[in-house]
Structures are given as C-alpha cells and as structure tokens.
Homo-oligomer: A and B are copies of this chain.
Amino acid sequence: MGAVADEPWLTDEEQKSWRSYLLMRRTLESHLERHLQREFGLSGSDFEILVNLSESETGRMRAFELGEATQWEKSRMSHHLSRMEKRGLIRKEACDARYPEIALTEQGRAAIEACAPAHVGRVRELFVDVFGPDRMAMLGAASDDVIAAIGKHQHTNCPPDVSGC
C-alpha cells in the first residue's frame, strides 16, 4: 500500500479523499432518493424525466431527445417511460406514426410542480450551501475536466475494431 510513483495505488491522502467522496455520494443520493419517494412517490429517474419534459416549451419531447438530455440507454428509457405511462405521469402520442412523442400529463405536471421546490431545497441545504460558492464553482470546473478526460479516454483507448466501444 505504499506510494510508489509508477504504481497505480493511491496515497493515503488521496485514498482518504476518494473514500470520503464515495461515501458522500452514496449518502446524499440515497437520502434525496428516499425523501422523494416517501413524500411524493417519485423516484429520481421519474424526477429527471419530468424535469426535462416540464422545462421544454411544449411539454412534449421525443424519446430520443430525452435520451440525449439524460444520457440514458435507450432500453432503459423505453422501459421507464412505459412504467411512467402506466402510472399516468406521461402519455405516448403517436403523431409521427413512427416516432411517438412523450407528453406530460396533468398528473405528471402536478407531480413535478409539487415536489420540485422541496427537492431543490434539500439539494441547496445539504449540498450547495454546505459547499459554498467557491468550492461549488471549483467542483463544477473539476467535474467538467473529469467528463472531458473520460471522453478523451474513450477515443484514445479504443481501436475501432475492438467490439463494444
């Protein structure tokens, strides 16, 4: 468990921060998720879809657009939209006779409007305000760097013939 330079292992400092981060991530996520579920009967996934739909001008989007916005796999999207439709939160409308549009229902809009303030309030209280503006800005910048690094890694590390990249 040393800190030899060309070994992949983390130093004690690094490991401590990394593990704090992992624990925070899990604790925050399950806390937010549980409250959303208890108080409003919505999962984090439901919330994400509803936010995207409610932010669009028309309240309707194609599944593909939702996929771009959320970065979900298409099959996850399909499954989840079916479940949400069954619960009356959205509706699939076959306008294009090929690519159905996903529309927010009354009930869906009511749900998102009811829970958004409480949810955002908790995000602010437990995360944004705890970080504070400086650390928050730094986190945003570092996050963008990590996203870029992963993107670059995807391209450099995958010769085009290798499957599944």
A residues neighboring B (CB under 8 Å): 7-10, 13-14, 16-18, 20-21, 23-28, 31, 38, 71, 117-118, 120-121, 123-128, 130-131, 133, 135-147, 149-150, 153, 164
The answer to whether A142 touches B150, judged by C-beta atoms less than 8 angstroms apart, is: no
The answer to whether B153 touches A20, judged by C-beta atoms less than 8 angstroms apart, is: no
The answer to whether A139 touches B17, judged by C-beta atoms less than 8 angstroms apart, is: yes
Q: A20-B147, A139-B21 are in contact. Are A9 and B120 (CB under 8 A)?
A: yes
Q: A9-B120, A10-B120 are in contact. Are A147 and B23 (CB under 8 A)?
A: yes
The answer to whether A8 touches B126, judged by C-beta atoms less than 8 angstroms apart, is: no
Q: Mostly helix, strand, loop or mixed at chain A's interface? A: helix
Q: How far is the CA of A164 from the CA of B38 in the complex (A)?
A: 10
Number of identical monomers bound together in the oligomeric complex: 2
The answer to whether B137 touches A8, judged by C-beta atoms less than 8 angstroms apart, is: no
The answer to whether A20 touches B131, judged by C-beta atoms less than 8 angstroms apart, is: no
With both chains docked as a complex, state the minimum distance between the C-beta of A17 and any C-beta of chain B, in angstroms: 3
Q: A23-B147, A27-B71, A147-B24 are in contact. Are A123 and B10 (CB under 8 A)?
A: yes
Q: How far is the CA of A7 from the CA of B26 in the complex (A)?
A: 27
